[in-house]
Structure 1
């Protein structure tokens, strides 16, 4: 398995309410809508967008990653309206160890509706069934209760807390780590 095998042409993934697809330049306003919201960016590693230029740079970077067949995020599209409401991706993928880490962010208007759990479950299925992974993990700031709930509802198990693991936004953050193994996934699918 090579990165190009998956990311040579990023596949579209459909769920009941969502379409996980490639980003497009036309998604700029949707990205800015949640990327400029401090409630959304409070628990991510990147800074809150202060202008459309920030969002435009992000989309340009993603489009380059697609072109270079690198690990890159899916836009989360709300199928009912066609609006992009977030993104989800494998933030890193260790092919030799057959493990990957999930990352995600969601527009605040869609919180507490099971939307991100739906997207994460789709990526978990994709990771185990298409990428031949044996382990998927995800991390969140200790204070990010919503993200921890997404991981738990997606079938991931809490492994522990890494104290002062990352220096983000001027603070050494405690990070919680969750994981799901292929055998856990097989048992509950």
Structure 2
């Protein structure tokens, strides 16, 4: 039986998902079990996840590692937080996060999760740098990054597409020594 690494915070369980986890899941779980495990209720979303898997989640110099956010009280998967575009050779990764339902927002859950995820990144993954690319209008995400000491480094013009519209990203960075000096 596959053992899932889990971190715990006051209100959340953080279940680690990495390329090896997905190899196991896609080899041993049927569609129904995959949907339940991933917290997906629509087949279309499952097909997108399967496509990502088929196209390769890990390359020779890049990987990812993220955690499902699970509400301890309900056992419901409420979001995710973790690292993508993890450059193994350069000890840096981009952090991403999200909550699935509006009613989970503005309750400090992502702050709670981010503390553990940043600790994990800088200690277990040995990251030197964590980057956050944030939409210019995403004030909650900007405030979250600043809360953890991320430094604004500039703007990337037309950096990503949202519904086929190109949008800018604000670049924030946090170095291991900056984070650990505040811990």
Q: Give the TM-score normalised by the residue count of structure 1.
A: 0.73
Pick from 93, 110, 116 the counterpart of residue 86 of structure 2: 93
User: What's 1:156 paired with?
Assistant: 150
Higher RCO (C-alpha under 8 Å, 6+ residues apart): 1
Task: Name the structure 2 match of 1:114.
Answer: 108
Paired residues of 1:164 and 1:173 also in contact (CA < 8 A): yes
Q: Which of 49, 52, 56 is the aligned partner of 2:46?
A: 56
The answer for unaligned runs of 5 or more in structure 1 is 1-7, 33-51
Query: Greater strand share, 1 or 2?
Result: 2
How many residue pairs were aligned?
160
76, 93, 104: which is aligned to 2:69? 76
How much does 1:19 deviate? 0.8
The answer to whether 1:126 aligns with 2:112 is no
Q: Which secondary structure does the structure 2 equivalent of 1:73 belong to?
A: strand
User: How big is the shift at 1:89?
Assistant: 2.0
User: Alignment partner of 1:92: what SS?
Assistant: strand
Give 1:59 deviation, angstroms. Answer: 5.3
C-alpha deviation, 1:119, in angstroms:
1.2
Give me the CA root mean square deviation.
2.7
- Counterparts of 1:112 and 1:132, CA distance in 2: 30
The structural deviation recorded for 1:56 is 2.4
Q: State whether residues 156 and 179 of structure 1, in contact with CA within 8 Å, keep that contact through their aligned partners in structure 2.
A: yes
- Structure 2 unmatched ranges of 5 or more: 18-32, 58-62
Residues 182 and 72 of structure 1, relative CA distance in 2, 3 Å threshold = closer
Moved over 3 A (4+): 58-66
TM-score (norm 2): 0.75
